[in-house]
Amino acid sequence: MIPCPPLLATLAAGVALAATLTATLSQERRIPTSPAEVRLSYAPVVQRAAPAVVNVYAARTVATRSNPLFEDPFFRRFFGAPGMPGPNEQQQRSLGSGVLVDPVGLVVTNHHVIDGADQVKVSLADRREFEAEIVLKDARSDLAVLRIKGNGERFPALEFADSDALQVGDLVLAIGNPFAVGQTVTHGIVSALARTQVGITDYQFFIQTDAAINPGNSGGALVDLSGRIVGINTAIFSRGGGSIGIGFAIPANMVRVVVASARGGSSVVRRPWLGARLQAVTSEIADSIGLKRPGGALVTQVTPDSPATRAGLRSGDLIVTLDGQEIEDSNAFDYRFATKMIGGTSRIRLQRAGREMTVTIALEAAPELPREEIIIESRSPFQGATVSNLSPALADQLRLDPAAEGIVIVEIANGSIAQRFFQPGDVLQVVNNQKIARTGDLDRLSRQQTRQWRIVIRRGGQQMSVELRG
C-alpha cells in the first residue's frame, strides 16, 4: 500500500525537524573556550556582603553560692567571716552573629544572643575586635541593636531589601559564624514565606530557607543576590542540633522598624496599637460563618477608647486585608500591623455579617504610664520579683488584657523565692485583702512580718486565688 501524499509530507517534515534539533543540540555541546564561560559564582555577592557580617560575643556574670543555706538571713551574717564561704561568680558566655546596618557602627543581632549580657564584643570579618554597647533590646521580635565603640570610624554596612518582594524559590545566602568555626557562607532558596506557627517570638511571620543555618548563625544575615538583607537568621528546626535544611529568618521589613527606633535614639520599639484581640479562623469557625476556607483574623474583643474602637471595629468582625495585603491569620495581621510606622492611617478591609466594608484606623502608640519598676527585696513570697505598674502600652507588650487591674511581674531572678510561686506576666491584684494598684503598694505589704499570705493573681486570662504559709 502506498501512503497518501499528505502522510508522506508529514513524515518528511518530521525528519527535517529532527535533523534541525540534532544539529542545535550538537552546537550546544562544546568545550568552553574561556574560564569566563564556566565561572558561575556567588563570590561577587559574598565580597559585598561578608565584610558587614560580624561575630558577637556576649558575657554575663552570675553570682552562685556553694550552699543554698547561705541565702538565709541568719547565715548571711557570717559572710566574710574567716572560713565561711561566700558568693562565687561565674561568667556565662554566648556566641552569635550580627550585621552592620549603618556605617556609624550600628549592628543588628538577635535578642537571645545578648540577653542578660553585661559585656559585649564585636569581631569584624578582618578580625579586629571592638567593645559594643547595647542600644536597644526588643524581646518581642527577638532583635537587638548594638553600637560599636569605634571612635568615629566608618564601617561597611548592608542595605535592607523589601522582604515582601521575596518569592518562594528565590536564591539566598546565609552568612554567619556557625559553631564558632569562623565566618561561613551557605546558599539555598526561600523554601516558604509567612511561616506563622513557628513559636519563636511574639511576631510569628518568618522566612523559611534551606540554606544551612546552625548554632552560632543567630543574628547573621540572609541576603539576596544583590547583597541586600532580606532577613536576620534566628532559628532552626533540628532534632540533633545541626541543620537539616529548615531554617527561619526574621523578615527585613520587621528588622527595619527596630533599627529605625534605635537610629531615632529610642531604647524601645514604638509600634502601632490596635486595641483589639484577634484569633485565627479554624475550619469550624469558617463553617459557622460561611467561609469557603479558613483565613483572616477574627476580632474577639475590642478595648474601649482604643484605635480599634474609634475605627469602628466590633467583636465578630473578620479582618481580610490590611492596606491591600491579604491576612491569612491573626499572626500575619500582628506582623503586618507592627511594621507600620507611628503616625498616619491604615485601611482594613473586613467582613461583618456577610457584608464587606473598609475602615480606616489611626496608627497610634499605646498610652504609657510611669512604670515605677522596682525589685522586691524584703523577705516575702515576692522576693526577687521585678514588678511594674500596668499600662495599655505594657499590657500590649506583654500580650495581657488591657482592662486588667493591678501590677505585673516583668522579671523574676533565678533561684529567688518568687520563682517558686510566680512567673513573668502574672498580674498581682490583691494581697492580704488589700487591692494592689501601684508597685509601691506591694513594696509596703511585702515588708510586713506575717506568716500567711492570701494573694489574687491573673494568669493567662484566668483569675487565681493563692494562699501561702511561711
Residues forming the active site: 112, 142, 218
Q: What one-character-per-residue DSSP string does 239-272 give?
A: SSSS--S-EEEEEHHHHHHHHHHHHTT-SS----
Q: Answer whether 395's CB lies under 8 Å from 406's CB.
A: no
The x, y and z cell numbers of residue 322, run together, are: 490590611
Q: Answer whether 277's CB lies under 8 Å from 306's CB.
A: no
Could you count the other beta carbons within 10 Å of the beta carbon of residue 13?
10
User: Closest by alpha carbon to 325, among 194, 203, 161?
Assistant: 194
Distances (CA, A) of 345 to 202, 322, 323, 351, 364: 23, 11, 9, 20, 9
The x, y and z cell numbers of residue 423, run together, are: 512567673
State the DSSP code for 367: P
Cβ-proximal residues to 204 (8 Å cutoff; 6+ apart), any chain? 195, 196, 197, 198, 331, 334, 335
Query: How far is it, in rounded angstroms, from Cα 341 to Cα 422?
Result: 35
Side-chain half-sphere of 3: how many Cα atoms within 13 Å? Answer: 8
Query: How far is it, in rounded angstroms, from Cα 129 to Cα 150?
Result: 10
